[in-house]
Amino acid sequence: MESVEKIVIPENTGYISNYSEFERIIDRDYPILLDKSITGCGVSSFFLDRNHFRKPTILVSPRRKMI
């Protein structure tokens, strides 16, 4: 079974665009699980707006309403 690395976004990150290390941290050759623990910081937009990602990406949001 392939291992998965969990990446935790610092709680003081207001917007992911202000987290300069983010793109370097998520560029892995293996699966990652991104635990942002805060909402509204732009992670979904980051992945949806990028067309250069070579790997399949699954966005999961634990909400009761549709995004």
- The residue segments making up the domain with residue 49 are 1-67
For 15, residues 6+ apart whose C-beta sits below 8 A from its C-beta are 41, 42
pLDDT tens digit sequence for 32-50: 888 777 778 888 888 877 6
Residue 61 has pLDDT above 80, yes or no: no
Q: Provide the terminal-to-terminal Cα distance of the chain, rounded to the nearest Å.
A: 32
Report pTM.
Answer: 0.61
Q: How many domains does the chain have?
A: 1
pLDDT (0 to 100) of residue 67: 55
